[in-house]
Amino acid sequence: MTTTDKAPAATAAPLVRLTDAGKNYGNILALRGVNLEVGAGEVTCVLGDNGAGKSTLIKIIAGLHQHSTGTYEVEGQEVHFSSPREALDHGIATVYQDLAVVPLMPVWRNFFLGNEVKKGPAMDIAFMRKTTKKELLDMGIDLRDVDQPIGTLSGGERQCVAISRAVYFGAKVLILDEPTAALGVKQSGVVLRYIIQARERGLGVIFITHNPHHAYPVGDRFLLLKRGQSLGYYGKSEVTRDELTALMAGGAELEELSHELEQAGAGSADAARLLGEEVHELGIDRVSTGDKP
Amino acid sequence: MSTTLETAPAPRPRQPVADERMARRSLLSRLLTRPEVGALLGAIVIYIVFFAVAPPFRELDSLSSVLYVSSTFGIPAVAVALLMIGGEFDLSAGVAVTSSALVASMFSYQFTANMWVGVLVSLVVALLIGFINGYLVVKTGIPSFLVTLGTFFMLRGLNLAITKAITGNVATNDVSNMDGFASARRVFASSFSIGGVSIRITLLWWILFVAVATWVLLRTRIGNWIFAVGGNAASARAVGVPVNRVKIGLFMAVGFMAWFTGMHILFAFNTVQSGVGIGNEFIYIVAAVVGGCLLTGGYGSVIGAAIGAFIFGMTNQGIVYAGWNPDWFYFFLGALLLGAILLNSFVRKRAEAMR
C-alpha cells in the first residue's frame, strides 16, 4: 500500500490545490479557509457530516461554482472555472452519486454516451465494444457481456463503469461524490479497490465520504469539514483511523455529552462513564483540531 | 477493512478474450432478448389463424392488400415508435395526417399552383406542427400526452373549420386535373405489379423508412441519443447529449411521416375529407407498443412497430376475408392487441430472466 512518502517530487505542482478557499452565497459563508491538495497518484479524502460544506467544495473544484475567496490552482496555474466543461478540459472529472447512466442501455452505449466514436455517418460499434471491455478489464471488472443493460450491474460495478468512463475520457483528477454511500459492505470494498486502482494508474482522486472507515485505508490526505470550516487537514502519518473516527464523531461534543449525562442523575452516570472512557480511548485529547500549516 | 484491502491483490489487467460464460447464451436466447420478438410470435399466430379460417386470405393478392393497409399505418408508426423510445407521445399524429393532406390540396387548388408547391408547403406546415409540439413539451416540461392532446383538438377543429371556410364543404375539391398531380401520384400513390400481384408503392416506402430508422436507431450517434433521452433524460443531459434538440427532432420526424401519409391519401383519393384521421394516432401508438416499445421510453424497436402495424393490417383485412361480421372488428382488434401485448411482456420477462 502506498504511503505519503510516495507523493510526487516537490518540483511538480499538485494537480489541484486550494489555498484558503471560501465560498459565500450572499451573506452566507458556505465555506471558509479550506486548504486541500491532490497530486498524481494520491487520494485526498474529504470527510464531513451532512451540511459540512462537502458539496460546496466539490462544486467549486468541479466548476459548477466559483470560489469567492482564496485561490484554486490546477497544476500550478490559478483558475476560475465558469462551467463543468471547462473543468473537464483541465482533466477534472466528477462522478456524481446518480452516476449519469441510462439503466436500460447496454454498458458500451453508456460508456460512450455523449462521446460516441464515429466512423463515417455511423458509430464505430466494434471499437466501442472492444474499448469498453478493455477499459473495464483494466479497472478489474470482468464483464460477461458489454451488451447487457447497465441497470443489471450491481451498484458497485455501475460506480466503477462511471469511474473508468471518466478515466478513459482523459480525467487526471477524479472527484468521487460519496461513491460508497448507498452501497453494502462488500460493494463498498469493490469501489475502494477501484479507487486504489485509479491511484495506481497515476490519477489524483478526491474522495468525498462521511465514513472514516472507507476513507482511511485508501487516503493519503484527509480534510475534515464541519459547518463550512476546516476541522483539520492531515497526512496519513499524522493521524490514526481511531483519531479520524473520533474527529468525525465530533469528539468535543461527545465529551460535552458525557458531562451532561453525568449531571442528569444516577441513572445516566454509567452511560456517562462509558462515553468518557471511549472518548479517552479514541484519543481525542491527543488530536489538535487546528489547521495543519 | 484496511488489512483486507492491503492484502487483496488488485486484479491484473487482462486481454479481452472470448468469455466462457457467454457459451450459455444460445442464439435463441439472444433472439429472445430483442424487443420485437413478442410481436413477431403474435404476428405468426394471427397469420396462422387467418390462414386456417379464411381461404381468401391465403391468396397473394390478399397478402398484398394486407401489406398495403399495414403500410399506411406503419409509415407514421415508424416515427411514433422512435418518439416513444425517446420517451414521448404524440396524440396529434392522426389528425396531422389529414391536416397535411388538406393543406397541400387546398393550397394548390386555391392558388392554382403546381401540386408540388402544395406538397412542399404542406411539408413545412407538418414539420412546424411537430416543432411546436416538441418545443412546448421541452420548454414547459408538461407531459407530451397533455400537450399533444391539446394540439390534437386544435388541429381537429382547424381541419374542419378552415376546410369549410375555404371550400364551403367538409371535403376538398378534386385536384386530379391539377399540374403536377400525375407525377406526385407516381411518387406517393402508384402501384405496379410483380407476377400478376399488384404492389402499392407505399409498401416500398414503408420498407425504406423502417430500414433507415432502424439504421439510425442502432448504428448512429443520434440513435444512441434517442435511447438515452427516453431512458434517463437527466443523465443524458449530464454527459452532454442535447436532450431538447433530440426530442424536438423526434416530434418533427412524426410530422414528416404524417405529411408523407397525408400525401398518399391526397394522391390516392384526389379529395380529402376534413374529418378523417381521428383515432388513428392510437393505432400508431398501439403498433409501437405491440412492437415492443416501452411506454415509458428508452426501449423498443422500429422493426417491432412495423410488425405491430402488420398485425393491425392482418386483423383489419382478415376479418373481412373470414366472412366474420365486421361490426366485431374493433373487439377482435382489441383482443388480439391485448394478447400480443401480454405475450410480449411475458417473453420480455423470460428473456430478462435468462440473461
Tell me: the pLDDT tens digits for A76-132? 889 988 877 788 888 888 887 766 788 889 999 999 998 899 988 999 999 999 999
pLDDT tens digits for range B162-202: 999 999 999 999 999 999 999 999 999 999 998 888 999 99
Least confident of A3-17, A85-99, A225-239, B246-260: A3-17
If you average pLDDT over every residue of chain A, what do you get?
A: 80
Is the CB of A104 less than 8 angstroms away from the CB of B299?
Answer: yes
Report residue B251's pLDDT band, with 50, 70 and 90 as the boundaries: very high
pLDDT tens digits for range A116-162: 999 889 999 999 999 999 988 887 788 878 888 888 888 778 888 88
Is the CB of B299 less than 8 angstroms away from the CB of A123?
Answer: no
Q: Which residues of B touch A109 (CB under 8 A)?
A: 224, 227-228
B4, B6, B10 member nearest A197 (Cβ): B10
Q: Does A109 touch chain B (CB under 8 A)?
A: yes
Query: Pairing between strand B191-194 and B197-200?
Result: antiparallel
Determine which of A88, A94, A97, A105 to mutate to test the interface with B (most B C-beta atoms within 10 Å). A105
Residue type, B176: S
Q: Give the pLDDT mean for B196-224.
A: 95
**Greater model confidence, A170 or B316:** B316
Per-residue confidence (pLDDT) for residue A201, from 0 to 100: 85
Question: Nearest residue on chain A to B19, judged by CA atoms?
Answer: A144
Burial A29-58 (b: 16+ CB within 10 A, else e): bbbbebbbbbbbbbbbbbbbeeebbbbbbb
Least confident of A165-169, B146-150, B204-208, B260-264: A165-169
Per-residue confidence (pLDDT) for residue B16, from 0 to 100: 45
DSSP H helices, chain A, are 54-62, 84-89, 107-112, 125-138, 155-168, 185-200, 212-218, 241-248, 251-264, 266-282
Q: Give the pLDDT mean for B82-107.
A: 96
Burial A131-153 (b: 16+ CB within 10 A, else e): bbbbbbbbbbbebebbeebbbeb
Question: Nearest residue on chain A to B85, judged by CA atoms?
Answer: A104
Let me know if domain B59-342 sits in CATH 1.10.3450: no
Distance CA(B111)–CA(B109), nearest Å, equals 6
Q: Which residues of B touch A113 (CB under 8 A)?
A: 224, 228, 235-236, 239, 241
If you average pLDDT over every residue of chain B, what do you get?
A: 87
Burial class (CB in 10 A: 0-12, 13-18, 19+), A97: middle
Q: In this structure, is the dihedral angle defined by the CA atoms of residues B107, B108, B114 and B118, taken in order, positive or negative? A: positive
pLDDT tens digits for range B51-60: 999 999 999 9
Question: Nearest residue on chain A to B227, judged by CA atoms?
Answer: A105
Is the CB of B5 less than 8 angstroms away from the CB of A109?
Answer: no
**Greater model confidence, B128 or B327:** B128
Domain ranges of chain A: 4-106+160-239, 249-288
pLDDT tens digits for range B142-167: 999 999 999 999 999 999 999 999 99
pLDDT tens digits for range B301-345: 999 999 999 999 998 899 889 888 888 888 877 887 787 677 767
B163-170 contacts at long range (C-beta below 8 A, 24 or more positions apart)? B163/B102, B163/B106, B163/B274, B164/B274, B166/B106, B166/B110, B167/B106, B170/B273, B170/B274, B170/B275
Question: A4-106+160-239 has which CATH code?
Answer: 3.40.50.300
HEC string of A239-257 equals CCHHHHHHHHCCHHHHHHH
Per DSSP, the residues of B131-179 read HHHHHHHHHH---HHHHHHHHHHHHHHHHHHHHHHHHSSSBPPP-TTST
Report residue A197's pLDDT band, with 50, 70 and 90 as the boundaries: confident
Radius of gyration of chain B (CA): 23
Q: Which residues of A touch B30 (CB under 8 A)?
A: none
Per-residue confidence (pLDDT) for residue A229, from 0 to 100: 84
The neighbouring-strand residues paired with A281 are: none
